[in-house]
Amino acid sequence: MKKRLRKKAHRGEFTEWGRQLFIIRNRKDGFDEFVDTFIDEAIVANGCCCGGGGEEDKLNVIVELGCRSNNPDARVKAITAWLDAQPDVQSWNIGEEFDLWYGDFEDIDDDIRR
């Protein structure tokens, strides 16, 4: 497949990788403020995007980490380091990496590891 077609089809070096992230907070108030701060400081600051939702003390998102050339492992480490530094994050769990366009998505359980 030619490079132009690989790019259009998100294949090869243009594959976009993602991970599911499940966060449990130790408080139920201030959810909107937490989400805003999380997106600004952990996601956007590391050049990522995310989508998902939650309520009160739980947040479940898919984080788009970019292509291999964007060093997705370093981005995951920066995001999880931010979570570890937050006093209102009780625990979090991050799923396996998968292809956002064509990969099989396995929903992680509520089994939380830190």
pLDDT the model gives residue 114: 46
Give the pLDDT score at 16. Answer: 92
For residue 109, what pLDDT is reported? 63
- CATH class in words for 15-99: alpha beta
CB-facing half-sphere around the CA of 14: CA atoms within 13 A: 11
Give the start-to-end residue ranges of the domains of the chain. 15-99
Q: How far is CA 72 from CA 34, 67, 75, 102, 111, in A?
A: 23, 7, 5, 17, 23
Q: Which residues pair with 51 in a beta bridge?
A: 62
Give me the pLDDT at residue 106, please. 80
What are the tens digits of pLDDT across the range 21-36?
Answer: 999 999 999 999 999 9
State pLDDT tens for residues 40-90.
Answer: 999 999 999 999 999 889 999 999 998 888 899 999 999 999 999 999 999
What is the pTM assigned to this prediction? 0.85
